[in-house]
Amino acid sequence: MEGNTEYYKGSYVVLSDPKTGGILAISGKNAVSNATGYSLIDASRNIFTSPMTPGSIVKGASMLVGYTTGTVQIGETIYDECIKIAGTPEKCSHAKLGRINDIEALAYSSNVYQFHIAMRVSGNQYYYGMPMHASLDDFETYRNVFRQFGLGVKTGVDFPVESVGNIGTGTSPGLLLDFAMGQYDTYTVMQMSQYITTIANDGVRIQPHFLKSVHESTDDGSLGPEISSVSRTELGTLPYDEAYLDRIQEGFQAVMSYGLGKGVMGTSPNPAGKTGTSETFLDTDGDGVIDTETISNAFVGYAPYDDPVMTIAVTSPDISHPSTTNSYFSYVNRRLSKQISSKFFELYGNPA
C-alpha cells in the first residue's frame, strides 16, 4: 500500500461515446481488507449513487458563468495572487501564477481567476480585506449553468437509481468562492461524465445509456434479428454564444498540451480535459461526526479534440490526507486515466 493512503478505498471510471451517449465501459472497484491482505469488490453502483466534491474539473462551467454574465471577457487577463476577504483566511491558487488570461487560467487551474469572476457575479469590487456579500441568486446563477451540463440534475441514464448529488444550502460569500472552484456542491461520476460529454459534443447534452439494441432470442444463443435500438437522445443545448464554448474547449486542450493535465491521457491523440483536486471529509469511526480531512482527485477528458470518439471520467476519493509526518500524495487517478485512455486507442485505433 502506498504511504498516506489509508483512507483510499477505490476508484471509479466511465467511458462514453460523446456522439450517441452510449456508455462504452464502467468500472468501480473497492479494496477491502481481509485476513490475507486485500481483496477487490465491485463498487460500480457508486458511479451513480455516491457523489464527490469534484474540484477544478468544473472550471469550464464556472468560466462559462463569467462569459455569459459579462463579468469576464474572452482573453481577459487577471493577476493571480492570494485574495483576502474580511473574516476569512487568504484564499489562493496552488501557486502564484501572476498575470494570466482565461486559457491559461484553465491550463494551470487558477483558483484566483475563478474567485474574481465569482466576486464580480455577486456585485463585489475586490480589494484586499474587503467585506463580501453574496445571495442565493448568485449561487443560482452558477447552478443554472452547471445544470445545463448535467451537474446537479439527474443524467437520465438507464440505471434503476441515481443521485443528483448534494446541493449546498449555505449562502455565505466564502462558499460562493468555493463553489466556483468545485469545492462545495458534490456530483456523481456519471454526472461528471455527462458534463465532459456535453463539452466534447459542442454543447449538446446527451442522455447516457447502456442499452444499445434489443434482439430476438435464438435457439443457438446467437444474436437474433433486431427488434429495437436506442437512438441518440438530446436533453438540451447550451443556449449561449458558440464562441464561449469554443474558448472553454481551447482551454481544456491547453490543459492537456502544456498545462497541469499534460500526459494524463497517455497516448490518446490530441486530447482535451481537466484535472481536479478537492478537499473532502470523512467520518472514520462511524459516530456521525466528520473527523478527518482527505484529498480526492478527479479527471475528465476526451479525444481527439477536433472530432471526439470517447470521453472519460475518473475519480479517486480520499487518496491522501494532510499529515505532519508523511507528505506523500498518490497519483493513482493520473495513472488510471493514462492507462485506460491509452488502452482505448490501442484497442480501437486512432480515428483517421
Catalytic residues: 56
> Strand 272-282 relative to strand 213-215: parallel, antiparallel, unpaired?
unpaired
Rounded CA separation 46/190 (Å): 9
Helix (H) / strand (E) containing 11: strand 10-16
Rounded CA separation 180/321 (Å): 23
What lies within 8 Å, CB to CB, of 247 at 6+ separation is 63, 67, 74, 102, 103
Rounded CA separation 121/138 (Å): 7
Place of cell 462504452: 24
Rounded CA separation 35/189 (Å): 31
Cα-atom radius of gyration of the chain, to the nearest Å? 21
Place of cell 485506460: 340
Q: Among candidates 52, 60, 54, 73, which has minimal Cα distance to 110? A: 60
Instruction: Give the relative orientation of helices 59-69 and 242-257 as an angle to the nearest 10 degrees.
Output: 150
Q: Which three cell numbers stand for residue 229?
A: 435500438
Q: Among candidates 135, 143, 193, which has minimal Cα distance to 167? A: 143
Q: Alpha helices, DSSP H only, in the chain?
A: 46-49, 59-69, 102-107, 111-121, 136-148, 173-180, 189-200, 242-257, 332-348
